[in-house]
């Protein structure tokens, strides 16, 4: 395997991976190959990504927890500016880790990426003054297929980092159902 290191099944959650690409730097800056399908295939991660998305958010913005109901998407997420606390929640009913979450700080400096397989809810909290978040998806977005779970669900019990700014939500995210109420595929 060339330019990436992969931690498979993080937190004991099958299919969830932390990927760290090689970063080559000198006094001019750095170069990193952020995605290489051949390296991913060699690591056992055969995905066909069809859509790239990017968002910009200010400190305290919490997006999620989102998922697609009938057209689930695998995602490869990373931060290119700033820092976020990124969360994936296992929604695969046949999984031994159904309802379990994993959280990781993704930053422009650590270059880490989180590979989230199909069947997960996803969200993130912006920790820096500003963050730019990028992700690849292996299926197209279907706007009438959105599902979600409220960020502070007591059954999932995510340990979000404390920040010195009030949390900022979209109206949609503020009114998401609980884990028990959500329509989970």
pTM for the model? 0.95
Domain boundaries of the chain, sorted by first residue: 49-174
Measure the N-to-C terminal CA separation of the chain; round to a whole number of Å: 35
Active site residues: 66, 135
Q: Which helix (H) or strand (E) holds 40?
A: helix 37-42
126 phi-psi bin (left φ>0, alpha ψ -120 to 50, beta other): beta
Report the distance separating Cα 37 and Cα 46, nearest Å.
8
**Section 148-161 average pLDDT:** 98
pLDDT at 185: 77
For residue 172, pLDDT over 80 is answered with yes
Averaged confidence pLDDT in the chain: 96
Give 166's contacts (C-beta < 8 A, 6+ positions apart). Answer: 60
For residue 1, pLDDT over 60 is answered with no
Percent with pLDDT over 90 in the chain: 95
CATH 2.60.120.10 fits 49-174, yes or no: yes
pLDDT at 184: 87
């Amino acid at each position: 395997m060339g330019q990436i290191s992969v931690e498979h099944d993080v937190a004991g959650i099958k299919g969830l991976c932390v990927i760290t690409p090689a970063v080559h730097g000198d006094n001019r800056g750095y170069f990193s190959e952020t995605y290489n399908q051949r390296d991913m295939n060699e690591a056992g991660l055969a995905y066909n990504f069809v859509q790239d998305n990017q968002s910009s958010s200010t400190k305290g913005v919490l997006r999620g927890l989102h998922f697609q109901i009938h057209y689930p998407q695998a995602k490869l997420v990373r931060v290119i500016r700033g820092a976020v606390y990124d969360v994936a929640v296992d929604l695969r009913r046949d999984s031994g880790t159904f309802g379990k979450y994993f959280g990781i700080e993704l930053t422009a400096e650590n270059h880490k990426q989180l590979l989230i397989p199909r069947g997960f809810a996803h969200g993130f909290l912006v920790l820096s003054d500003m963050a730019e978040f990028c992700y690849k998806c292996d299926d197209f977005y279907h706007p009438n297929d959105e599902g979600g779970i409220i960020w502070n669900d007591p059954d999932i019990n995510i340990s979000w980092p404390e920040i010195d700014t009030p949390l900022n939500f979209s109206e949609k995210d503020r009114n998401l159902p609980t884990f028990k109420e959500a329509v989970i595929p």
